[in-house]
């Protein structure tokens, strides 16, 4: 019996609601007992029931009320004294219970477990290393003042709020545009649980983002979150969802997890595949990362639908009559947009032009812009793909895609050497133009792996001597280009070895006066600032581009075909984005209108959308030299190493040649 009573008491104590109810009933019972005794001890002619109850309650609540009992009888005084003593315990217990309940409520708010009551907000499910990029991009999106609710269980509410308060402020560039203040609300919850999704009020959200979360196996967390969203009851219209998947193997699974969503209201970005393609393209054209980042961002120029042409005209005529950079058009009944068609392709008033512009509201078609045909040069003869030697330093799960895409651009007989911890030959694909890749399981930052800056310098080898697996010190100066990959995503210092490798390569380049190009992949924006003093040809922040792309789609679900166009430009087939020498189009050293460049590119069936100033490629304030969508009347004097950004089609049936050279 004693154990049973103890068990019942423990159940009551551990349930705050029941505990408060029990003490409230005990307090009322105690007052009732005191009132009954007082009633009995009060003379019959002075019995006022309401007054007796009031006096009893006063004695329970206030022990000092016994001072008013001096004229009463001693039995009455004794009962009131016992009442005051008992009231101390009752009121003390009630205060303790109320304090505990209030503390629990405050703790619930502090932990971020209370539901939000906002609507029309952006929900971010999971804390990501790219959260600052996401918030910056949302701040640039058009519309009302943005509100963001972050639901994550990787960090506590206080840690998330502190990280956002201390986030690094990005320097405003020439194309930054207006940055509005973002209202951020952090909540602690598991996005993979449907009941926790209600904390973020996903049903009233304007859009939902599922970025790559922190920790091991991020794709598993994303897939479970998508399943929770899919199976959650949606009485109204499902909100647009954009998710980021790291591995190509999980891409189809993520799309299946969203099979209940309308096709035009969900999008899965394949971060691993897109980053790998971006690395290869940046190796070919340093600076291409900046151009792609601008095209998929609310910062600078984007791809928009424009007003239809006033009458039937050819694509070549439309290129010169459009105020912005025309890239193609979408046609009723045709699923995919028509990008970079031949100049004689007719454009009908029923077609929807696609343009690269700062704002879709000011795109107009006017009279032809003046073309300086005397400054146009004859197209150069086709250049065959070059036989290239590429050194890859580092290893991650994107290596297979990098080798596969690279194989589509180099000439037969090209070579690839890979040095990275975790190297596994079985993970590499079969190649057509690249000889069988060679690789070594070694850390490129270890002494003796890369040739020292001074040939005579000797290093002490570690116990695991790389020469035991046939590896002699590799000389980067014998390669055309070096690709430095970011490390394991689970590493807390994911970019540390990449930055260390860059320092080693810079020392080698300076000592040997070498000219090999260096492309480095980084995971975090903070690492870009650390790498400012290191001479590299391009820094690829693939995860940043993918996160920006996800925000762009979630905010514009109806523009999916325009966003996927940029993804297709990075692939080794169909239409590509190229950086071609300005000397291939116009004369150098003299002012040339942009309309002249557009006309010269159209002769080669290329669509020009911008140019790159080589002398500005290291200047952040100049946008790293990338200038998209110049006005047709702008005059620029191009120099020897300046380039034109063009869209061009790959040769039919030959994915192994570089169509940008023909």
β-strand partners of 302: 357
Residue scoring higher pLDDT (200 or 97): 200
Residue scoring higher pLDDT (163 or 88): 163
Helix (H, G, I), strand (E, B) or coil at 30: helix
| Res. 390: pLDDT tops 80 | yes
pLDDT tens for residues 131-173?
888 888 888 887 777 889 999 988 888 888 888 888 766 655 5
Q: How confident is the model at residue 592 (pLDDT cuts 50, 70, 90)?
A: very high
Helix (H, G, I), strand (E, B) or coil at 434: strand
Q: How confident is the model at residue 608 (pLDDT cuts 50, 70, 90)?
A: very high
Separation in Å, CA 362 to CA 304, 308, 324, 378: 11, 13, 9, 34
How much is the mean pLDDT over the chain?
Answer: 80
Q: State residue 54's pLDDT score.
A: 67
Q: How confident is the model at residue 25 (pLDDT cuts 50, 70, 90)?
A: low
CB atoms within 10 A of CB 207: 23
The pTM is what?
Answer: 0.77
Q: State residue 21's pLDDT score.
A: 59
Kindly state the tokens that stand for 467: 């020469």
pLDDT tens for residues 424-433?
888 888 999 9
Report which DSSP code applies to 563.
Answer: H
Cα angle value 382/384/390 (rounded, 5°): 140
Mean pLDDT for 479-494 is 77
Write the CB contacts of 50 (distance below 8 Å, at least 6 apart in sequence). none
Separation in Å, CA 72 to CA 48, 78, 80, 306: 16, 10, 10, 95
Cα angle value 169/170/175 (rounded, 5°): 145
Q: State residue 660's pLDDT score.
A: 38
Kindly state the tokens that stand for 167: 């986030």
Q: Is the dihedral of CA 91, 97, 100, 101 positive or negative?
A: negative
* Distance (Å, whole) CA 36 – CA 204: 56
* Distance (Å, whole) CA 423 – CA 428: 10
Q: Are 438 and 431 in contact (CB under 8 A)?
A: no
CB atoms within 10 A of CB 43: 7
pLDDT tens for residues 394-442?
998 889 889 988 998 889 999 999 998 888 888 888 999 999 888 888 8
Residue scoring higher pLDDT (468 or 13): 13
CB atoms within 10 A of CB 194: 16
Q: How confident is the model at residue 243 (pLDDT cuts 50, 70, 90)?
A: very high
Q: State residue 659's pLDDT score.
A: 36
pLDDT tens for residues 94-139?
777 777 777 777 776 677 788 888 888 999 999 988 888 888 888 8
Q: State residue 246's pLDDT score.
A: 85
Residue scoring higher pLDDT (455 or 29): 29
Residue scoring higher pLDDT (580 or 459): 580
CA 335 to chain centre: 28
| Res. 522: pLDDT tops 90 | no
Q: State residue 40's pLDDT score.
A: 64
pLDDT tens for residues 305-347?
888 888 889 999 889 888 888 888 888 888 788 888 999 999 9
Q: State residue 599's pLDDT score.
A: 92
Write the CB contacts of 46 (distance below 8 Å, at least 6 apart in sequence). none
């Amino acid at each position: 019996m004693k154990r049973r009573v103890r068990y019942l008491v423990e159940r009551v104590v551990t349930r705050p609601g029941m505990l408060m109810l029990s003490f409230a009933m005990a307090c009322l019972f105690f007052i009732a007992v005191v009132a009954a005794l007082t009633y009995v001890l009060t003379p019959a002619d002075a019995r006022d029931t309401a007054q007796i109850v009031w006096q009893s309650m006063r004695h329970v609540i206030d022990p000092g009320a016994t001072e008013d009992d001096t004229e009463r009888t001693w039995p009455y005084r004794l009962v009131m004294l016992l009442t005051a003593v008992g009231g101390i315990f009752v009121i003390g217990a009630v205060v303790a219970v109320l304090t505990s309940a209030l503390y629990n409520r405050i703790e619930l708010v502090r932990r971020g477990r209370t539901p939000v009551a906002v609507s029309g907000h952006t929900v971010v499910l999971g804390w990501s290393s790219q959260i600052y990029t996401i918030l910056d991009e949302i701040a640039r999106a058009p519309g009302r003042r943005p509100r963001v609710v972050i639901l994550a269980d990787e960090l506590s509410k206080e840690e998330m709020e502190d990280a956002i308060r201390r986030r690094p402020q990005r320097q405003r560039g020439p194309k930054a545009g207006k940055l509005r203040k973002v209202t951020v609300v952090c909540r602690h919850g598991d996005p993979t649980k449907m009941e926790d999704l209600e904390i973020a009020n996903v049903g009233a959200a304007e859009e939902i983002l599922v970025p790559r979360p922190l920790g091991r196996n991020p794709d598993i967390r994303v897939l479970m979150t998508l399943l929770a969203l899919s199976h959650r009851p949606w009485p109204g219209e499902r909100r647009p969802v954009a998710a980021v998947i790291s591995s190509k193997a999980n891409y189809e699974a993520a799309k299946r997890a969203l099979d209940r969503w309308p096709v035009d209201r969900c999008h899965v970005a394949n971060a691993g595949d897109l980053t790998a393609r971006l690395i290869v393209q940046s190796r070919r054209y340093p600076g291409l990362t900046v151009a792609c980042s601008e095209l998929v961002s609310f910062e600078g120029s984007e791809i928009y639908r424009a007003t239809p042409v006033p009458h039937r005209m050819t694509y070549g005529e439309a290129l010169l009559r459009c105020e912005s950079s025309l890239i193609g058009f979408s046609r009723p009944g045709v699923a995919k947009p028509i990008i970079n068609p031949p100049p004689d392709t007719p454009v009908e008033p029923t077609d929807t032009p696609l343009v690269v512009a700062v704002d879709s509201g000011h795109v107009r078609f006017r009279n032809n812009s003046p073309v300086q045909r005397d400054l146009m040069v004859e197209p150069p003869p086709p250049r065959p793909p070059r036989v290239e030697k590429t050194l890859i330093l580092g290893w991650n799960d994107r290596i297979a895609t990098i080798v596969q895409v690279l194989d589509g651009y180099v000439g037969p007989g090209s070579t690839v050497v890979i040095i990275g911890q975790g190297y596994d030959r079985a993970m590499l694909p079969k190649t057509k133009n690249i000889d069988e890749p060679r690789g070594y399981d070694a850390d490129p930052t270890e002494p003796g792996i890369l040739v020292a800056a001074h040939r005579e310098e000797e290093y002490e080898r570690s116990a695991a001597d790389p020469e035991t697996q046939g590896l002699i010190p590799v000389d980067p100066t014998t390669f055309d280009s070096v690709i430095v990959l970011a490390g394991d995503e689970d590493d807390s210092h994911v970019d540390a070895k990449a930055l260390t490798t860059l320092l080693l390569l810079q020392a080698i380049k300076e000592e040997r006066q070498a000219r090999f190009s260096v492309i480095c992949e980084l995971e975090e924006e903070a690492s870009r600032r650390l790498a400012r003093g290191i001479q590299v040809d391009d820094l690829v922040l693939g995860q940043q581009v993918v996160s920006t792309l996800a925000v762009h789609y979630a905010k514009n679900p109806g523009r999916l075909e325009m966003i996927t166009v940029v993804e297709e430009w990075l692939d080794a087939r169909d239409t590509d984005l190229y950086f071609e020498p300005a000397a291939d189009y116009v004369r150098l050293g003299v002012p040339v209108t942009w309309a002249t460049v557009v006309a010269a590119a159209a002769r080669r069936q290329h669509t020009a959308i911008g140019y790159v100033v080589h002398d500005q490629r290291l200047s952040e304030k100049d946008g790293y030299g990338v200038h998209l969508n110049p006005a047709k009347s702008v005059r620029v004097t191009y120099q020897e190493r300046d380039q034109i950004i063009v869209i061009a089609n790959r040769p039919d049936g030959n994915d192994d040649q570089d169509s940008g050279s023909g």
